[in-house]
Amino acid sequence: MDTTTTFIFIIGAPRSGTTWLHKMISEHPEVSTFNGSNTFLQGYIFPLIEKYKHEKKEFTERGFTRGLPSKITQKQLNSLIIEYIRIFYQFIPENKQYYVEKATDLTSELNSIKYFIPNSKFIHIVRDGRNAVLSEVKIHKKYEIGIDNILLGAKKWVSQILDVREYQSKHNQDIIEIKYEDLFQNTNLYLTRIFDFLGVSNETGLVTKISEKYNYKRNMVSMPTNNRLSFSDGLFNTYKKEMNYFELTLFEYLASDILKDFGYEVDNKRISFISNRLIKYVVIPYFNTKYFLKILAKKIKIKLSNIS
């Protein structure tokens, strides 16, 4: 593995500004990137590791010899993976000391990334989970990708934040955390802080040039789900307008502590007004049933189309 290149991974929940931040950092003259390279670790390397774990269990518990565990050890597999990673990233230009990659859904794999790529750093961008999940649900309606309901989105958002916190507790010097709203309100200031953390040049003229080119108020870069004019002084209140009462209560019930930790507004009266039992036994089952019926309807539609 190349020890001269610093690998930068931009992590965060979907619809949290990872694409926007990736474009700005990759614009820096000291930084290189591969378009679409995030599929390598996410689509090939980590699924291979999970498959090995599953086959290892089958081999150990049931004696199944099909698969890699009956042929090579975990250590040998890791050596193969390190070689795959070396080959994939060998095309990083020699004159670039830094490489950046968007790793949106890899928050649960930070320890593995650090193991296979020791000279890596992480930038965690956090957006108010209510807006992030709402945006993802809206994207699903248009493109049928990602999360399609608030319950699953809230659980995933909380899980990903906790994954990062677990990593931070052990490797705090390798990670910086930036709020999407802060970056939006004062791009120059927070981009400078990020460049300081990475160790790249942070000259005022360069930072201003990059932030102006990717000014999100004028030039949205990643499948926008809101009109740029709907933002009020950088404070994003879309969820207040577009989430219904039960959706908002459910999200805050599941994520209120984390939302508060990041300084996001939470309506304690709304959560306390509806008892925990009501949320647990009425609201959550309602969303689970709604999700089940949606999946069932989709399967029926597919079968009917096949018949016709």
pLDDT, tens digit (0-9, with 9 covering 90-100), for 176-212? 999 999 999 999 999 999 999 999 999 999 999 999 9
Q: Answer yes or no: is 188 within a domain.
A: yes
Q: Could you give the maximum distance between any two Cα atoms of the chain, in Å? A: 64
Give the residue with greater pLDDT, 30 vs 237: 30
Q: Answer yes or no: is 284 within a domain.
A: no
User: How many angstroms separate the CA atoms of 291 and 256, rounded?
Assistant: 23
Chain-centroid distance, C-alpha 37 = 15
Structural domain including 204 reads: 6-229
Encode pLDDT of 97-152 as tens digits: 999 999 988 999 999 999 999 999 999 999 999 999 999 999 988 888 888 889 89
What is the helix, strand, coil percentage profile of the chain, to 5?
65, 10, 30
Q: Answer yes or no: is 295 within a domain.
A: no
Count structural domains, the chain: 1
Give the single-character DSSP code of 90. Answer: G
User: How many angstroms separate the CA atoms of 12 and 161, rounded?
Assistant: 8
Q: Answer yes or no: is 301 within a domain.
A: no
Q: Answer yes or no: is 243 within a domain.
A: no
pTM metric for this prediction: 0.86
Res 301 pLDDT > 70: no
CATH number of the CATH domain containing 79: 3.40.50.300
pLDDT band at 267 (very low <50, low <70, confident <90, very high): confident
Q: Answer yes or no: is 115 within a domain.
A: yes
Q: Answer yes or no: is 195 within a domain.
A: yes
Q: Answer yes or no: is 299 within a domain.
A: no
Which residues lie across from 179 on neighbouring strands?
Answer: 126
